[in-house]
Structures are given as structure tokens and as C-alpha cells.
Amino acid sequence: MQRSPAASLFWNWSLGRPAVANTEFGEIAPDQADSVRARNRDDEAAPQLDAAGQDEAHHRAEAQRDRVVALGNVEQVDDQADAVLVVIAELKRVAEPGAPHQRRAHDHVQRLLEHGVLVVDATKFLAGPFGCLVLQDLGARVVKVDPPGGEEFRGVAGASYCALNRDKDQVCVDLKTPAGRDQFAALVGSADALVENMARQVAEELQLDLEALRAANPRLVHCHLDGWGHGPLADTPGFDPLLQARSGLMVAQGGTDTPVIQPMSLHDIGTGTLAAFGTVVALYERARSGEGQRVDVALSRTSVVYQAGEYTTYPDRPAPRVGYIDYVGDDTAHRYVEASDGWIGVCADTAEQQHAWDAVRGDDDAALATTTVGEVVDACRAAGIPAIAVLGRDEVYTSEALFADESWLIVDDDDLGEVRVMRSYSEWDGVTPQTRAAMHAAGRDTDAVLQEVMAPP
């Protein structure tokens, strides 16, 4: 018996696929997953720019720096293009070879904001790490701060942790000790941005005064993520299923009698994206004012934003649609429909498209029972009907469309071997897409990073 698209999605998410060990964010070959090992790969193994390429890049960096110096105080810049140039230069923080804030040697890919700001990632689980990953893909250098032994999520879902934290410096600091708090303070004191999702009680238990850290570094952009904002639920843990339940999303999916959980972490990814966007805007403002800012984002606000259309009210507004178990759509022209070998999504909007769709599907979908998904999709395209095959999670990994769009990135993980994950989310003119990344073992970069930030001036 074939499952509905919703049931198939949950099946894939909960059980994985037998051919590989995959997660919501990444995929590991079975032989590698079965032989998890700690492998320290030297960064020298990655391709490097030759001497001529290094000289050319250095000359470009010097020209950019001279241009910024010539502009003078940012408050005196009137031309918008020059103002943007100052902001970009502020984010780039071009440094001489060997200076702090440079990216690791293996990361030779040209970036939009190359040699970016230093971001301290003191988050865990999904939302915060994803937000910092977005900042890193924009060019920031991100230092992931975990407790000794690494974040617990690394051990629970190694491939997902790899996908969310690739290319970040991996630092382990014991914030329960005075020495660890001093090390963290030194990191934050040298950073451009701190991103954290510590609950108020956790910060108090750790005797960690985040406001004092910001006071010691007035240019610091401090981004805080939490589940519920400042209201009566402020101390409630902010996990995605809880947000789905509280925001009405479960009811919207499955109805009041049988609310349905969405297995993908919608709130986490959305909130992380908004956190990255808020941090970039605060860095832009800092380039104008010279002062840092606090940025607050919450999963609860993200959930309402996602459902903005449903929560918009006006007189005589029709009630928003509500789903039910195995909900596939409300009418024959806008729904998921089953063919002989799988499911299809159809959105016939115009009267002409709906008439054509009726001809394709036959009376009561009778023609679909003996027609393959490919044949139905081809017929719909020929008739100008928006339609596409429904893919399961396993099929997405082998989708020709995603491969043609170069959507995958290979990560060399110290613990898991090669892991295939989604690569960056935007493309820019003149920026070469990254094709290889690295995931260091927990704490591998601790000594080097702490020596850098705690060295005497």
C-alpha cells in the first residue's frame, strides 16, 4: 500500500534509508558510518593558491584597504555606493598574511565577504548553529564554542551537526570554571559578533554576565536566540515541536482532532536565518555608528511570521484552511494526487488549466490509475498545467535537478569521513561556489584559537 506524501515524509525522516545513513541535513555512506573514526586531516592537504595567485589577492586586498582609508570617517560618506564599500570593507577586515581573523588554509574559495568578521558561536542544537553557518557562508570566520568533549548534539546526530557546523573553528571551553569563563571573555572581547541561545537560568548558573562582556567590547554585536521571547513562557524550552503545538501549526496541518507534527525543523531554520539577517544589519549599523547592538530573535515570532497570511484578519474574512490526517488538498485542481507508481502535485489555477487537467485525469481520476507519474507530468507540461512529481527524501538525494544546480557539498569530517550536505543558499557574481569543506573534531582548534585571542598585545 502506498503512503500519502505526508506519511512517506515522516517514514523517511524517522527511519532513514537503507542505502545510506542520512539525516535531515546530511548523508554518510554506510561503510563510513559503520566505521566512525577520529581522523586528523592536515589543512595542508587542501589545494592552495600558487605564489602568483597569492600576490594578486594580496594586491587586491591592499587596493581595497587604501580605498577605505581614503574614504575617511563613515559618517562623512554621502555617496551610497561608497557607504556600501565601507560596510563591505568593515566586514571583510582584510588582514596581512598571518594576522588574526584569517580563515583556515583549506578555505581557499573566493567569498563574497572574504576574511570576514569574527563570530563567536555559543549556541547549540539547530537554530543558532544554522544562523552562524549562514554568517560563515557570507564570509565570516566562526568559532564554535562547546563544552569539554563537544556539544551533545554532535554525538546524537553527527551528520546533522556536521552540516550545521562545517568549517567552523572547533573550540571547547569549560564555562563552569573561572579559567573557562576568562577564556570565553577573551574570545568575545576580540569578536565582532557573539551569537548565543543560553537560557537565563543557564547564564546565571554559569555566572556568565553577557551584558558585562558587551560593555567590555562596545563594538560587539550580540545576537540572542530563544524560544518564547520575553513573555510568560520565557523560561520554557524552545524546541520546534513545542512551537508547532503552541502556534497553531499542528492544527493547521492536521485539524483540531488529529494535529500533525511537521518533522522538518521549520522554526529552527527560519529563526537561524532571521538571526543571521539581524546580525548582518547590526554590523551594517555598526559601520555607520561605530557601536554594537543587541539583536533578539525568538522561535515563537518566527512561527507567527510563517503563518502571517493565516493570522491576518479583516471583516468577513473566510476562515483559513485547516488540514486533516493525510490531507492532500481541498479541490481536484490544487492537490496531491496518486498515479500508478507514485504521487504528483498539481496546481491548476486558470479555467483553461483546470479544463486541461480534467482531460488528463479522467472522470474521478480514473485515467491516473493506469498512468505513471512521468507520463502524467509530461502530459501536464504539454498542456501547460503546473505539475511535478512528489519525491521522497531518498529520491531527493539522487535528484538530477539538484545535481545540475550543484546543490551538494562534500565535507571531510574528522569523525565521520566524507559527508554530503547542502551547500550555500545564494550565489553572487564573481564568487566561486565552495565545493569542499571540513568538519574538525571537538576541541581540535582550541589551543590555536585561545593562543590567538589571549596572546599579550
Cell readout for 276 is 543571521
3-state secondary structure of 194: strand
Catalytic residue among 268, 412, 413, 445: 268
What distances in angstroms separate CA 390 from CA 5, 8, 22, 98, 408, one per listed residue?
Answer: 7, 10, 19, 50, 20
Sorted by sequence, the CB contacts under 8 Å of residue 133 that are 6+ apart come out as 142, 164, 165, 166, 168, 272
Phi and psi angles of residue 278, each rounded to the nearest 5 degrees, phi first: -65, -35
Q: Are 107 and 169 in contact (CB under 8 A)?
A: no
- Strand 26-28 relative to strand 21-22, pairing: antiparallel
What distances in angstroms separate CA 38 from CA 45, 416, 433, 442, one per listed residue?
Answer: 17, 8, 28, 10
B/e letters for 297-325, b = 16+ CB within 10 Å, e = fewer, are bbbbbbbeebeeeeeeeeeeeeeeeebee
- CB neighbours of residue 3 within 10 Å: 14
CA atoms 285, 286, 290, 294: torsion sign: positive
How far is residue 163's CA from residue 159's CA, in Å, rounded to a whole number? 6
The side-by-side arrangement of strands in the sheet containing 118-122 is: 169-172, 141-146, 118-122, 193-196, 221-226, 294-298
Instruction: Give the end-to-end CA distance of the chain in Å, rounded to a whole number.
Output: 69
CA atoms 51, 56, 62, 65: torsion sign: negative
Give the length of the chain.
457
Q: Say whether 146 is catalytic.
A: no
**Residue 160 zone, left/alpha/beta (φ > 0; ψ -120 to 50; rest):** alpha
Cell readout for 243 is 512551537
Phi and psi angles of residue 188, each rounded to the nearest 5 degrees, phi first: -65, -35
Q: Are 368 and 388 in contact (CB under 8 A)?
A: no
Which residues are known catalytic residues? 268
